[in-house]
Amino acid sequence: MELTKTDLLELLENECSKSFGCSLKEASKKQAYKTLCAVVRDILSKKRKSFKEEIYAKERKQVYYMSMEFLVGTSLRNNLFNLKLESKFASVLKGLGFDIQELYDMEPDAGLGNGGLGRLASCYMDSMTNMALPGTGFSIRYEFGIFRQKIVDGWQMEFPDDWLSMGDVWLRPREDEAFEVKFGGNVASYEENGRLCFRHENYNSVMAVPYDMFISGYGSRAVNKLVLWSAKSPSKNSIDLRYFVRGEHLKALEQNTMAEVISKVLYPADDHIEGKRLRLKQQYLLVSASLQSIISLHLKKYGNIQSLPDKVAIHINDTHPALCVPELMRILLDEYSLSWDEAWDITCRTLSYTNHTVMSEALERWNEGLFRELLPRVYQIVCEINRRLVEGLFAKYPGDVAKIDYMAAISGGEVKMANLCLAACHKINGVSKLHSEILKDSLFHDYYAITPERFTNVTNGIAYRRWLCQSNPALTKLLRELIGDGFMKDSMALEDLLRYSGDKAVIDALAAVKRVNKERLASYISGANGINVNPDSLFDVQIKRLHEYKRQLLNALQIIRMYLRIKENPNLDIPPRTFIFAAKASSGYFMAKQIIRLICSIAETVNADPVVREKIKVVFLEDYKVSLAEIIIPAAEISEQISIAGKEASGTGNMKLMINGAVTLGTLDGANVEIHEQVGDENMFLFGLHADEVEALWRRGYDPHSYVRRNAELNEVLRTLKTGVFGSNFDDIYNSLLSNAYGTADAYMALADFEDYARTQDRVSATYRDAYTFGNMSLVNIAKAGIFSSDRAVGEYAKNIWYMK
């Protein structure tokens, strides 16, 4: 039944009077915001109920997406868009004196993730819902999401992100459906009916309380949910009475805060493992509570555990929830008394795993002692998994100790989480064609050799209704005029735009849209940084986590080159360009923070120079997050995807920028390879070493000095890092490129790719001069971006990995 404006008004007034005891006319903006969100949540709640009944009646298979991160961003506009109620609500609220955009602006981002991996999880939840696939996400209700970043004198400062004060409107607690999660203690064994049994004793309990966040889909009857676990002390009161009655008052409080600290804060690192106890606790809280919940629901409906793999698929998003493997075994063995073989069969058929990085620093390993102490029963099971695994491998590869060690779940005093997933999961996938090949050829080669049929690829995708339809209304409107509405349901219909390839009027219309979005970004930049940028300049954008492998430094070095050239020749004839960066660095990542400082210093020098700033400007926008990306991306013309080939698993920012008409300037890395397949050489600016060339160069021995000797310009650029042209010196960066111990200098080969990159940047400038040619490249990129929809990606998972209808 369709809701009329009168219905909406009534819903709003009822909610407002219930929550705030006033009518909307008297309500504050904050009250109006909370009222609106509550009404939307109730609408979704009703839809959820009927969708749940439908999947229950049809006994449909469920997928559970386990992820330590979901980078949700904001939900209000997304939900209204999906429910197709945006304009009705806007008009009702206007009548009450509220501007809906102002209410949108009050919503904080739910920043429960670091970067690509977390955002992908959210895009996939959206697509599952669009496609009416029964899917539930499981994660943690971090009280503090990814830190807020401020830049002070070029230094990144981190501040807590207290998102719940305004963001909890979407969360519905289910306090009485909490599960107990056990840490520490010891394991006792005993015999029962001739079976060896195990009892976990003397443990500390933590209660995991679920909070539901509803996920809507575009024009879809489905409503799915994201379940976020919050850690609570098991004692009824806020303090532990056992200690309190003995007079140990502080200890009584301590126990309680120790439990609750588990879900306090998201780990703000995506570059290296720290092996911290609290992180392992977070992972186990997520895994144990989710599996208990999944199994209890399954049993309630189907009455037997054997049918689990037929009715349930559990997906492990990177190794962070890899404890699913031993924990599912534990539940099946200890709580349902299955035999090892039966339990193992169910576990393998239920679980699947996606790898998201080949960076060895990020591959999770846990100290065996810590693991055993914190999760004694799970540890025993890991040992038994490992024993059987190694036994099998010895039979296959007698005497090949190195190989067996590499493949083992436990080795060198560490539990290796990727190997646990590889040992168990029935499907293993990478996130782009190139990445999946690299997994098979190198990182996971030994596993691929024994079971090739388990390995597959699913190239990432994006929720383009958010990244195009919602965040770029001007382009969406133009596209609807040109090719109709079809693309809003089926992204492949964007290809119809190719009809207009070469059509000057359409290219001009696209440029006019881009111009509007550039003006909006320019005004954001002026407000945020006090810099006036020229909306007629080329907007060149690199937005992503700060990582050496992503090579923001290469971009910075090339900007220095342009700066030096303009200084040398103030009449240098290039189209004006604005370089826009946004990136958060892991708090402990020293070099990443130095690179931010360098970019900010370049910005200061360049933007203050009356001659240079007419030709180039540099902007570093602080606090990169989903909602900021939504402002930057529609305005971008060049998308910098310049990672060293072989290291960026896929990239998804590249897809968001492409669908908004930015032309990729990039290496053949991650999904750039597939972007290239779509648009061809003529609609992309490719440069740099290929993945196999990078490998070969490493093997030969990489000497960054040889590139500096050959290239006087590069030498000049590097010298500025030492001589203080940009304020202070940047010795640490200089040394990382040239003076590190032999074989580790310039580990990401920025200098090897510099020359080709610089040449390609000149090609970008030359091409941009010809608005028609550049505009047509942009058109082709939009038209060819449909394949990168997360609907396509989720469809592939559903069919090839989760075996869903």
| Stretch of 13-21, 135-143, 252-260, 646-654 lying at the interface with ligand 26V (CB under 6 A) | 646-654
Q: Which helix (H) or strand (E) holds 232?
A: strand 223-232
Minimum CB distance to ligand 26V smaller for 220 or for 432: 432
CA angle 651, 656, 658 (to 5 degrees): 100
With CB under 6 A as the contact rule, the residue among 144, 170, 243, 267 that binds ligand 26V is 267
Residue 148 CB, nearest approach to ligand 26V (Å): 18
Note whether 510 binds ligand 26V by CB under 6 A. no
Terminal-to-terminal C-alpha distance of the chain: 27
Residue 132 φ/ψ region, left for φ over 0, alpha for ψ in the -120 to 50 degree band, beta for the rest:
left
Q: Which of 148, 200, 232, 356 is catalytic?
A: 356
- Which token pair is 330? 């534990």
Note whether 650 binds ligand 26V by CB under 6 A. yes
Q: Is 195 exposed, middle or buried (0-12, 13-18, 19+ CB in 10 A)?
A: exposed
Query: What are the CA-CA distances from residue 781 to residues 109, 473, 535, 699 (Å)?
Result: 29, 18, 21, 36
Q: Which of 47, 544, 551, 625 is catalytic?
A: 544
What sign for the dihedral angle of Cα 275, 280, 281, 283? positive
Residue 463 CB, nearest approach to ligand 26V (Å): 13
DSSP 3-state of 309: helix
Residue 269 CB, nearest approach to ligand 26V (Å): 5
Note whether 350 binds ligand 26V by CB under 6 A. no
What sign for the dihedral angle of Cα 568, 666, 554, 467? positive
Residue 706 CB, nearest approach to ligand 26V (Å): 29
- Spatial separation of the C-alpha atoms in residues 457 and 448, rounded to whole Å: 13
Note whether 561 binds ligand 26V by CB under 6 A. no
Annotation says 652 is catalytic: yes
Residue 273 CB, nearest approach to ligand 26V (Å): 4
| Stretch of 143-151, 162-170, 650-658, 787-795 lying at the interface with ligand 26V (CB under 6 A) | 650-658
Minimum CB distance to ligand 26V smaller for 135 or for 651: 651
Minimum CB distance to ligand 26V smaller for 161 or for 270: 270
Minimum CB distance to ligand 26V smaller for 644 or for 777: 644
What letter does residue 681 receive in the DSSP assignment? G
Minimum CB distance to ligand 26V smaller for 116 or for 309: 116
Binding mask 301-330 for ligand 26V (x = CB under 6 A): -----------------x------------
Residue 541 CB, nearest approach to ligand 26V (Å): 17
Region 106-135 residues binding ligand 26V, contact defined as CB under 6 A: 114-117, 120
- Spatial separation of the C-alpha atoms in residues 487 and 61, rounded to whole Å: 28
- Spatial separation of the C-alpha atoms in residues 350 and 306, rounded to whole Å: 11
| Stretch of 99-107, 355-363, 660-668, 676-684 lying at the interface with ligand 26V (CB under 6 A) | 355-363
Q: Which of 377, 466, 550, 584 is catalytic?
A: 550
Minimum CB distance to ligand 26V smaller for 331 or for 675: 675
Minimum CB distance to ligand 26V smaller for 430 or for 786: 430
Cβ–Cβ under 8 Å, residues 626 and 584: no
With CB under 6 A as the contact rule, the residue among 3, 132, 261, 273 that binds ligand 26V is 273
10 Å Cβ neighbour count for 610?
A: 7
Annotation says 356 is catalytic: yes
- Spatial separation of the C-alpha atoms in residues 54 and 52, rounded to whole Å: 5
- Spatial separation of the C-alpha atoms in residues 284 and 292, rounded to whole Å: 12
Q: How many residues lie near ligand 26V (CB under 6 A)?
A: 21
Minimum CB distance to ligand 26V smaller for 330 or for 647: 647
Q: What is the DSSP string of 163-190?
A: THHHHGGGEEE-GGG-EEEEES-EEEEE
| Stretch of 267-275, 532-540, 554-562, 695-703 lying at the interface with ligand 26V (CB under 6 A) | 267-275
Rounded-to-5 percentages of helix, strand, coil across the chain: 55, 15, 30
- Spatial separation of the C-alpha atoms in residues 802 and 795, rounded to whole Å: 10
With CB under 6 A as the contact rule, the residue among 66, 146, 649, 780 that binds ligand 26V is 649
Cβ–Cβ under 8 Å, residues 559 and 579: yes
Note whether 652 binds ligand 26V by CB under 6 A. yes
- Which token pair is 585? 């660095």
Note whether 278 binds ligand 26V by CB under 6 A. no
| Stretch of 158-166, 263-271, 570-578, 680-688 lying at the interface with ligand 26V (CB under 6 A) | 263-271
Note whether 356 binds ligand 26V by CB under 6 A. yes
With CB under 6 A as the contact rule, the residue among 15, 126, 270, 637 that binds ligand 26V is 270
Annotation says 221 is catalytic: no
- Spatial separation of the C-alpha atoms in residues 49 and 223, rounded to whole Å: 8
Sheet holding 365-367, edge to edge: 365-367, 414-416, 410-411
- Spatial separation of the C-alpha atoms in residues 182 and 223, rounded to whole Å: 32
With CB under 6 A as the contact rule, the residue among 36, 280, 389, 431 that binds ligand 26V is 431
Distance, CA of 496 to chain centre: 30
Minimum CB distance to ligand 26V smaller for 120 or for 511: 120
DSSP 3-state of 518: helix
Annotation says 550 is catalytic: yes
Rg of the chain over all Cα atoms, to the nearest angstrom: 27
Residue 444 CB, nearest approach to ligand 26V (Å): 16
Per-residue exposure over 485-521, b if at least 16 CB sit within 10 Å of its own CB, e if not? eebbeebebbbbbeebeeeeebbebbbebbeebbebb
Q: Count the residues in the chain.
A: 805
With CB under 6 A as the contact rule, the residue among 670, 688, 775, 786 that binds ligand 26V is 670
Minimum CB distance to ligand 26V smaller for 309 or for 651: 651
- Spatial separation of the C-alpha atoms in residues 296 and 300, rounded to whole Å: 6
Residue 117 CB, nearest approach to ligand 26V (Å): 3
Region 455-474 residues binding ligand 26V, contact defined as CB under 6 A: 460
Q: Which of 35, 578, 652, 760 is catalytic?
A: 652
Residue 433 CB, nearest approach to ligand 26V (Å): 13
- Which of 616, 578, 615, 622 has its CA nearest to residue 596? 622
Minimum CB distance to ligand 26V smaller for 212 or for 270: 270
Minimum CB distance to ligand 26V smaller for 115 or for 535: 115
- Spatial separation of the C-alpha atoms in residues 458 and 306, rounded to whole Å: 29
Q: Which of 148, 514, 656, 784 is catalytic?
A: 656
Residue 266 CB, nearest approach to ligand 26V (Å): 9
Q: Which of 281, 365, 545, 577 is catalytic?
A: 545
Residue 592 CB, nearest approach to ligand 26V (Å): 14
Annotation says 320 is catalytic: no
Cβ–Cβ under 8 Å, residues 427 and 315: no
Give the active site residues. 356, 544-545, 550, 652, 656
Q: Using CB under 6 A, list all residues that contact ligand 26V.
A: 114-117, 120, 267, 269-270, 273, 318, 356-357, 362, 431, 460, 648-652, 670
